[in-house]
Amino acid sequence: MTETQTAIIATAASAILTHPRLARIMTKTQIEERKYYIDQLRACLSDNETVYTILGRVSRSGMQRHVRIVLKRDAYFLHPNYHVATALGIRLTGENGQPWLVMKGCGKDMGLHLVEQLRAATGCRLEHQWI
C-alpha cells in the first residue's frame, strides 16, 4: 500500500470511530477494541478478495436475517464473524452452536450491505458472493 492509501484508510477508520452518535454510546475501551479488530481484519483481508456470506435464517416478519462471513484460503476457510461483529458493532448470536451476525432491515441485499460495511471500515476492495 502507498502512503496515500494508508492515510485515506486511517482517516476513514477514524471517521467511523469518531462519529458523533457512536461517541455518545461507546466507552474508550470499546473504541480501542473496535480499532484493534478493524486492524486485525485489515491485516487478514487483501484487495479484490471475495467475501462469502451464508444466510442462516430470516425472521417471520422478514426484518431480520442471520448471516455468516466466510473467507476462503488455499486449503481452509476462515470464519471471522466475531471480529466482524466487534469491528462493525453488529449483534452476534450463537444459534445452533455457531456465531451468526444479526442483520436488521429489509429491501436490500443484507450480505452485500455487510460486505460494504466491512469495506468501509477496512479500506480494502472486497467482492461479495452468497454461498
Q: Tell me: pLDDT of 22 over 70.
A: no
- Report how many domains make up the chain: 1
Q: How far apart are CA 23 and CA 17, in angstroms?
A: 8
Q: What is the pLDDT of residue 21?
A: 54
Distance between CA atoms of residues 84 and 90, nearest Å = 8
What pLDDT digit, counting tens, does each position of 62-74 carry? Answer: 899 999 999 998 8
76 grid coordinates? 481452509
Residue 51 sits in which domain range? 3-130
